[in-house]
Chain A
Amino acid sequence: MARLTHPKRALSTNPLKSSAPLGAALAYLGIEKSVPLFHGSQGCTAFAMVHLVRHFKEAVPLQTTAMNEVSTILGGADQIEEAIENLRKKSSPKFIGIASTALTETRGEDVPGELKEIVARRTDFAGTKVVYASTPDFDGALQDGWAKAVEAIVGALVPRVTERDPNLRQVTLLCGSHLTPAEIEELVRMIRAFGLEPIVLPDISTSLDGHVSDDWSGTSQGGTPLEQIEAISRSAFTLAVGEQMRKAAQMIEDRAMVPYRVFQSVTGLKPVDAFVRTLMGLSGVQDPPPSIKRDRARLIDAALDAHFHTGGLKVAIGADPDLLFALSGALTSMGAEIVTAVTTSQHSPLIERMPCEEVILGDLGDFERSARDHGAQILLTHSHGRHAEHRLHTPLVRVGFPIFDRIGAQDACRVGYRGSRAFLYEIAGTVQSLHHRSRPEDFGAAPIAEEFEHVPHATRH
């Protein structure tokens, strides 16, 4: 049972969180032929885009309504209309996801109302779905913006049904912002192994997985097709990964009577067991495919080999609540101790369930200070943690967003039996990479007498 502490300070040093609109943009990029559009000044977009590009090493079609002084005062509806028109001309997206920013939210615009009016008036916009999420920078973190964008997509595109007509082989997989493309792929693989067909929302595993396509397009390179979002109403079940996806799952239930289950973590033996058990129930498969069983047996062996390194390991971790919960749960189940947990958003019921005493709502300054005070032996956070890594001489495992000083962040997989195994190896490998050679002084022993040392011939004169 963890308690949440708010450091008493005005100064934030080395931010840990990324902003909510960025999270929304990332979610929108998981929709096919989409362009995310920030309703704000163009700097909001430029920073977010650079952030995304540095992480994914991909061109990111992020656009802006480019609010100026006049439109900021008089209202930005015209800017939105013009942006949609220009985007349609330039890259004919099927989907435009708008995320508000601190600027427009501080002014206080009725974007949903104005958008309704625009769409009704501009019948030529019919070929493009436009979705809006309110994501002020000043509230919550990346995962909150992501969640709001997914809720906006569900609210706009999943039809309400009055009678249930489920396709019993179809399930909806709602992915939280903490899942990498490789992790979505792994969950899809497991679901398919049970003979079920998932609709993934949002699906960055086909848009931001890092692939070269045959053509240049000004929209996302893949993602969930709009027809599939519509078909969500016929899914037998919703598998929501990450507590942040609970509300979206509830909305689907309200609109289409699809039952759901939230998986707060799919990293570590027990959480994955729960996921697999659900898939067994959904598919009626009592005897899972050999690959699933084999992967479980291999995870157990990995745990046996890794526990020598994870037992008693002092861990400092800084991440959005869902990622923090999943990784710290997997580590504590292996005997590690979370001595420092720093998170970005207070909007998560998971915080009080974190397997540590205290969760700091803070920044990497708090992270570094606490890690030092508690003698952390390993750090887990995003790339900006490298400063703490150097100063504390403690190795850093890069997790979360952004990871800009290593390539292949989209390929890291820490979910499912396979990903959990890789995660344990990653941690144990990092622990072993510390070349700690014992020295006499470690034990308080005096050094050996100089008389015993060999004097090389070269210096013997």
Chain B
Amino acid sequence: MADALKDKIADVFDEPACGHNVNKSEQQRKKGCAKPLTPGAAAGGCAFDGAKIVLQPIVDVAHLVHAPLACEGNGWDNRGAASSGSERYRTGFTTDMTELDIVMGYGEKKLFRAIREVIEAEDPPAVFVYSTCVPALIGDDIDAVCKAASDTFGTPCIPVNAPGYVGSKNLGNKLAGEAMLDHVIGTVEPEVTTPYDINIVGDYNLSGELWQVKPLLDRLGIRILGSLSADARYRQVAMMHRAKVTMMVCSKALINVARKLDERYGIPFFEGSFYGISDTSESLRQMCRILVEQGAAAELLDRCEALIAEEEASIWAELEPFRPRVAGRKVLLYTGGHKSWSVVAALQELGMEVIGTSVRKATEEDKGRVVDIMGDDKHMFDNMAPKDMYRLLKDAGADVLMSGGRSQFVALKAKMPWVDVNQEKHEPYAGYMGMVDLLRAIDRAVNNPMWDELRAPAPWDEPLTEGRVLPAHSGACPVTGVSAGMGRPVSLVPPLPPAEVIASAAPDVSGFPSSDTDFEDC
């Protein structure tokens, strides 16, 4: 591993704003927080995946992956981050390194040429160059290539050093943030700044979730100046240093960016969430409070409270019709992080019973809130093996599973409704209006008449009551020409007890020649 990358990793691991890290001893802290991954029992993406997740939603940038085909070929255009502008971010650019490139060390040259070609074809505001395992291993210096390319072509080329083998997706998130801090943030000045400029960090506008919240900000006169990276333009990332406050949406992924924005440019940050009604309100309150502290007019607070009161009242009225359709349903939540508790309150309010919630990736604070909301910690769990979850669902311990895509089939194969609440989902559930969409999704899932049909026994699960005697087959199979009488005589009729002959004229057949042959395939 290159020394620079090593230092970078050590740096992001030693994160003073991270709750985990703060509670560690000096010695533990030195070790970093890389959890060794267990061979044969690891799930989830690599550091490159994490970097890509964070940066790909920057819509007008050309994202160029320096790698053999797997990294981009198997992973492009697989997330639903929505764009209101350029669609360039959905295009898969890769150097598609071949054996010859690797053996002969052509990687850097090929990368440089690829950058030239992508700039000629697309004229993007910037090219993000992602390092991956193979070029990192053979020592391709993407920093040097990017520098040379930036100088030659005049388009910023940003190296993103997060090869897969250095660690988990979460580490990759942070390394991507570092790349922005080192090379992008602070490179462009906005035309004007206002006391109402904010950064939103850690939201990716999946299925348009940012836009469910943006009307609220529009009404308060708050401008999203910087975004990492929901519906973001390159220039918005480059201008982040001029915002007045940073809202951290997914509390762990990009904490290093938020803290360093504070450290370097004096922009305070807070953690918030737009999942759930109370969370949305709380996040708006906090955002306005900090903006006022930073110099915005104090009347913003009053306008914020008025907006919250109006929106909450109207959303509860909109949710009310769902109450009779979902009340009493038992929900198993299997997500993690702040979602462990942020939607629980709203579901409970509508009469649903949350029988359990996973607290994987959740902070101590998150866990505390679960206990607050649910009364005790009996309903908390970290992970549940698919086998156990299948049994729980199959035994109807729950009426619906709300989780990410990976446990989808555990629920479905147990013939249990499932609602996608993770990043791959196709519907946005953010802000106030997103709760209506979420409830609609739950309603649609649990009340689909299909479930009863699917759970009903198959026709052959119940014994035949009507006795029926059929004559043995005669003649030959038209396909094989084998005559039915040959070898072991064939019949589909199992040796049922001699049934009453229903028609008096039925031929007298004694005993049934049986066979394993499927007549359809004979």
**A residues whose Cβ falls under 8 Å from a Cβ of B:** 163-169, 189, 192-195, 269-270, 273-274, 276-277, 280-291, 293, 296, 300, 303-305, 307, 311-312, 332-335, 437-440, 442-449, 451-454, 456-458
**B residues whose Cβ falls under 8 Å from a Cβ of A:** 60, 82, 84-86, 123-125, 154, 190-191, 207-208, 210-212, 214-215, 218, 223, 231, 233-236, 239, 412-413, 415, 428, 433, 440, 444-445, 447-450, 453-454, 456, 458-460, 463-464, 466-471, 473, 491-494, 496, 499, 503, 505-507, 518-521
A282 to B466, CA, bound (A): 9
Interface centre among B433, B440, B450 (most CB of A within 10 A): B450
A283 to B464, CA, bound (A): 10
Instruction: Find out whether the CB atom of A164 lies under 8 angstroms from the CB atom of B505.
Output: yes
Give the contacting residue for B459; candidates A195, A280, A290, A449; CB below 8 A. Answer: A280
**Within 8 Å CB of B448, what residues of A?**
307, 311, 334-335
A141 to B496, CA, bound (A): 47
A311 to B448, CA, bound (A): 7
A296 to B453, CA, bound (A): 12
Give the contacting residue for A281; candidates B82, B456, B466, B473; CB below 8 A. Answer: B466
A447 to B233, CA, bound (A): 13
A164 to B466, CA, bound (A): 20
Instruction: Find out whether the CB atom of B214 lies under 8 angstroms from the CB atom of A437.
Output: no
Interface centre among B447, B464, B496 (most CB of A within 10 A): B464
Give the contacting residue for B214; candidates A195, A277, A443; CB below 8 A. Answer: A443
Q: Which residue of chain B lies nearest to A355 when distances are taken between CB atoms in the complex?
A: B449
Instruction: Find out whether the CB atom of A443 lies under 8 angstroms from the CB atom of B496.
Output: no
Interface centre among A166, A286, A442 (most CB of B within 10 A): A286
Interface centre among B85, B440, B471, B499 (most CB of A within 10 A): B85
Instruction: Find out whether the CB atom of B470 lies under 8 angstroms from the CB atom of A283.
Output: yes
Instruction: Find out whether the CB atom of B460 lies under 8 angstroms from the CB atom of A442.
Output: no
A-B pairs with beta carbons under 8 Å apart, 26 shown: A169-B473, A192-B519, A193-B520, A269-B453, A269-B454, A281-B464, A284-B468, A286-B494, A288-B460, A289-B519, A293-B460, A303-B453, A304-B415, A305-B412, A332-B449, A333-B449, A333-B450, A334-B450, A442-B208, A449-B223, A451-B191, A451-B235, A452-B235, A452-B236, A453-B85, A457-B154
Instruction: Find out whether the CB atom of B123 lies under 8 angstroms from the CB atom of A457.
Output: yes
Interchain nearest-CB distance for A166 vs B (Å): 6
Interchain nearest-CB distance for B38 vs A (Å): 31
Give the contacting residue for A443; candidates B154, B208, B520; CB below 8 A. Answer: B208
Instruction: Find out whether the CB atom of B458 lies under 8 angstroms from the CB atom of A195.
Output: no
Instruction: Find out whether the CB atom of B82 lies under 8 angstroms from the CB atom of A438.
Output: yes
**Within 8 Å CB of A452, what residues of B?**
233, 235-236, 239
Instruction: Find out whether the CB atom of B235 lies under 8 angstroms from the CB atom of A284.
Output: no
Give the contacting residue for B449; candidates A276, A280, A335, A449; CB below 8 A. Answer: A335
**Within 8 Å CB of B60, what residues of A?**
453-454
A285-B492, A286-B494, A303-B450 are known; give 8 further A-B pairs, CB within 8 A.
A195-B493, A273-B458, A286-B464, A287-B460, A304-B415, A312-B440, A335-B447, A443-B211
A270 to B449, CA, bound (A): 12
A283 and B493 in contact, given A169-B473, A192-B520, A304-B454 (Cβ under 8 angstroms): yes
**Within 8 Å CB of A457, what residues of B?**
123, 154
A276 to B86, CA, bound (A): 54
Instruction: Find out whether the CB atom of A168 lies under 8 angstroms from the CB atom of B503.
Output: yes
**Within 8 Å CB of B458, what residues of A?**
273, 293, 296
Instruction: Find out whether the CB atom of A285 lies under 8 angstroms from the CB atom of B84.
Output: no
A334 to B465, CA, bound (A): 30
**Within 8 Å CB of A333, what residues of B?**
449-450, 453
A168 to B468, CA, bound (A): 9
A284 and B496 in contact, given A193-B518, A304-B412 (Cβ under 8 angstroms): yes
Instruction: Find out whether the CB atom of A454 lies under 8 angstroms from the CB atom of B124.
Output: yes
A289 to B60, CA, bound (A): 57
A285 and B518 in contact, given A164-B503, A333-B453, A456-B123 (Cβ under 8 angstroms): no
A90 to B453, CA, bound (A): 55
Interface centre among A192, A282, A452 (most CB of B within 10 A): A452
Instruction: Find out whether the CB atom of B520 lies under 8 angstroms from the CB atom of A189.
Output: yes
